[in-house]
Amino acid sequence: MLVDCATYVNGVRQKPIEIEQISDFLESNPPPGSFVWVALFEPDAATLAKMQEEFGLHELAIEDTNRGSQRAKLEEYGNTLFLVLHTVEQVGEEFVDGELHIYASDRFVLTVRHRAQMDFKRARAALEKEPEFMGLGSATAVHALIDEVVDRLFPLLENLEDRLDDVEETIFAMTTDRRAAAERIYDLKRNTICLRRAVTPLVDVCTRLVTHKHPMVSDTLRPYFRDVLDHVIRIDDALDNLRELENSAAQTNLSLITLAESEVTKRLASWGAILMVPTIVGAIYGMNFERMPELKWAFGYPFALGLMLVGSVGLWAFFRRIKWV
């Protein structure tokens, strides 16, 4: 589906054009810094084939976009850069992974979204309000897109940190459901992995955009890409810390489960020992031999009951002192 198709001359948006007019604009030798910006959402193979024809895109890059589910990367086909970025959106408590494919040269920018419901109209509108900056060329659009992808990751990171704080606050409570806590930690770890899958490769992509001397990225624009790189590294470092805290929370929850099981085992062992006293006394005094000491003793029965009581109470007091019961 075509989302937007516009040309920019001297940083100013021109009248909308049809897809078939793209190649005509590119061949008309527009002023330096002019470019076409096309946005697509889950296009079919025929639409991508038309884009390939209009922009002269490499067939391998088009094949990757047709397939989808690509790893984040930056590839170069002649003067055209092909970027695959992973986007992350929150649906309820779950993070959903999407993709943004960007084809860019000094004359055009083509974006294709897969499984990403949020568009980039806000980034385009913000850039259009700065015609002087946009007049520097198509790399400004690439920067705006990457910057928007990165900016959307910060709220997701804060969400994970807040959810981890909630887990840490309740994990030591005696009333905490350990199974539910383990499930919450697992969900956190799964969402963290989803976010890392988007962020970690982005570090390499941004680094290459900063260091690689591609003619599309001028020295004037390089500091802007470096600023995005700083943001990505900050998120990546925060995710490393978050992963360590999640692992610690999981280990702590497991230790508390083991400790609780140990407490139950000690209590069962204690009561088993206490009940063993009357069992042994009763077994001895319950034997029906004719010649037994104390068999006809008047105080035999009270003595047996007292022995059971004293032995049981004594063991209970001992286990109480060592905090087994």
pLDDT digits (tens, 9 = 90+) for 213-255: 777 888 888 899 899 999 999 999 999 998 888 888 888 777 7
User: What is the rounded distance in angstroms from the CA atom of residue 148 to the CA atom of residue 323?
Assistant: 58
Residue type, position 323, single letter:
K
Structural domains of the chain, ranges and CATH numbers in brackets = 1-136 (3.30.460.20), 260-321 (no CATH)
Percent of the chain with pLDDT over 90: 14
Tokens of 202: 């982005």
The string of pLDDT tens digits covering residues 15-36 is 888 888 888 888 888 888 888 9
Q: Band the pLDDT of 289: cuts 50, 70, 90.
A: low
Runs of H (alpha helix) within the chain: 22-26, 45-55, 59-67, 121-128, 131-134, 139-151, 153-170, 178-211, 222-285, 300-321
Residue with tokens 């069962």: 268
The string of pLDDT tens digits covering residues 300-310 is 777 777 877 88
pLDDT computed for residue 291 by the predictor: 65
User: What is the rounded distance in angstroms from the CA atom of residue 304 to the CA atom of residue 296?
Assistant: 13
User: What is the rounded distance in angstroms from the CA atom of residue 167 to the CA atom of residue 92?
Assistant: 18
The string of pLDDT tens digits covering residues 7-17 is 888 888 888 88
Percent of the chain with pLDDT over 70: 94
The verdict on pTM exceeding 0.75 is yes
Nearest CA to 87 among 237, 197, 221, 170?
Answer: 197
Helices 178-211 and 153-170: crossing angle in degrees, nearest 10, is 150
